[in-house]
Structure 1
Amino acid sequence: MRLWASPTSVLGLVAALVLLPLGARARRVDGVLEIAAMRRLPRRAWPFEAITLGHVIIGTHAAVLERLRTHEQVHVRQCERWGPLFLPVYLLAGAWQWARGRDAYWDNPFEVEARRVAGC
């Protein structure tokens, strides 16, 4: 499964390589590389608090990674299932929801599953 998810993980590693020289902190948790982007980041500097790219989870802060770990781990499993198709299918699922007059993020089936499993 890790090999199937590796193309998306490479994108996460590239993002990590950009963030680490800027002060980001990295640690391995449950077989996943977690990147806490910055210690002090303006609250709305990014359009998300955390994003999962294969086996790399990037969060705005360490506390965010702690709080969202279960949710983001669901996305890791989704990426293992979908492999290199994960990002395009995720985006298409959001676009489909938006085209139907629903919310592209909150109604995206990938996010619905992650919230259900994480209990949030």
Structure 2
Amino acid sequence: MPLLLRALKYARAGPYSAVGVLLGVLILLSGGTWRSWRGTLEFGGGGFGRLVSRMPQPLRFSAMTLGHVILGVDTAALADLRPHEHVHVRQYERWGPLFLPAYLLSSLVQLLRGRNPYRENHFERQAFALAPARRAMQRDPGRG
């Protein structure tokens, strides 16, 4: 990918990535770990993971993405959900600063329709649909 195009994608997702890095530092300070993986930073575990795991169901999550930063409850969740979360990274690159408002609006629309605001969210449906293909490509890089 041309360097300029890659830089533009990182810049579009940059504000959310900055928030993710700040949260990542808090995860590290709580005993968590980090690693770099294919253009993203992953933070997880520690007190953050324990806190999120105890949250009530509507707020609990195993991993979430902010720009090019993925936050997870532990390294196993990060590894398992990596293909799904990388779809969200591409969505941040495509939508830029509009991603989070569009994501929240999609959830609100589904909630008002009486549907599951997470599972029926347009962006989540796309991530669930594309993640199996990405997982297969990770196992066999020659595919796709």
Task: Please give the TM-score of this superposition, normalised by the length of structure 2.
Answer: 0.78
Match of 1:82 among 79, 95, 113: 95
Q: Is 1:16 equivalent to 2:20 in the alignment?
A: no
Q: Is 1:99 equivalent to 2:107 in the alignment?
A: no
Aligned-pair CA distance for 1:17: 1.5
Q: Runs of 4+ in structure 1 displaced over 4 angstroms?
A: none
Partners of 2:67 and 2:99 in 1: CA distance: 9
Partner of 2:115: helix, strand, or coil? coil
Partners of 1:11 and 1:30 in 2: CA distance: 19
Q: Aligned letter for 1:59?
A: G
Partners of 1:18 and 1:28 in 2: CA distance: 17
More helix by share: 2
Which of the pair has more CA radius of gyration?
Answer: 2
Q: Which runs of 5+ in 2 are unaligned?
A: 1-8, 134-144
Partners of 1:37 and 1:118 in 2: CA distance: 23
Task: Please give the TM-score of this superposition, normalised by the length of structure 1.
Answer: 0.93
Match of 2:53 among 28, 41, 44: 44
Q: Is 1:59 equivalent to 2:59 in the alignment?
A: no
Comparing 33-42 with 59-68, greater Cα deviation is found at: 33-42
| Conservation of the 8 A alpha-carbon contact between 2:53 and 2:73 | no
Partners of 1:64 and 1:99 in 2: CA distance: 30
